[in-house]
Amino acid sequence: MGFEYIKALHIIFVVTWFAGLFYIVRLFIYQTEAMERPEQERAILKPQLDLMASRLWYIITWPSAILTLIFGTWVLSYRVGYLEMGFMHAKLAFVLLLYGYHFGCHKLFKELQAGRTRWSSTQLRIWNEASTLLLFAIVFLIVLKNLLSMVWGLLGLIGLGITLMIAIRIYKKYRNKNS
């Protein structure tokens, strides 16, 4: 299979993996909020949300994470010289953090499927933004291929993180006011 096809498949599975990561945490938020509802509502919501989360996690997110790793490794086999470059070390460090995030989501998934929640919906909203920050870091590093640009990118990420935290607080106040 040609390099461009492998690279395209890698990008496709990165996209589907991130889609799964973004949506699974949204489902975690809904599951957590459903557990706070009266018993009659919870009895309807929880099984449906559990089913949706299970299908998303095992049919889309996990396979995409595995295929991303396979095709990413394959892409690197064509570009072995990249492994000597600083930007690639930084990018792979962020990818490692992303897999750590994925495993953290798996732990949350298992807890919520068992009917246990230890995080509030607000904490999960903040957790959800971690994948956004990792996405920005990884994409900027691979596109710019420059560590100096990464410094500016990290400063931008910090700014984005602060902006997201403020937005979450504003949303929470708005939501509480209109509830």
| Every domain of the chain and the residues it spans | 3-177
Give the pLDDT confidence score for residue 10 in this predicted structure: 97
For residue 166, give the amino acid letter.
I
- Round the average pLDDT of the chain to a whole number and report it: 91
Q: How far apart are CA 62 and CA 65, in angstroms?
A: 5
Task: Please compute the mean of the pLDDT values over residues 14-26 and round it to a whole number.
Answer: 98
Q: Is the pLDDT of residue 144 over 90?
A: no
The whole-angstrom separation of Cα 122 and Cα 120 is: 5
146: pLDDT strictly greater than 80: no
Residue 178 has pLDDT above 70, yes or no: yes
The rounded distance, in Å, linking the Cα atoms of 12 and 27 is 22
Q: How far, in Å, CA of 111 to CA of 117, rounded?
A: 6
Residue tagged 């991303």 (tokens):
68
Binding residues: 10, 91
Least confident of 101-110, 128-137, 141-150, 162-171: 141-150
d(CA 96, CA 150): 17
| pLDDT surpassing 90 at residue 148 | no
Enumerate the known binding-site residues for heme.
10, 91
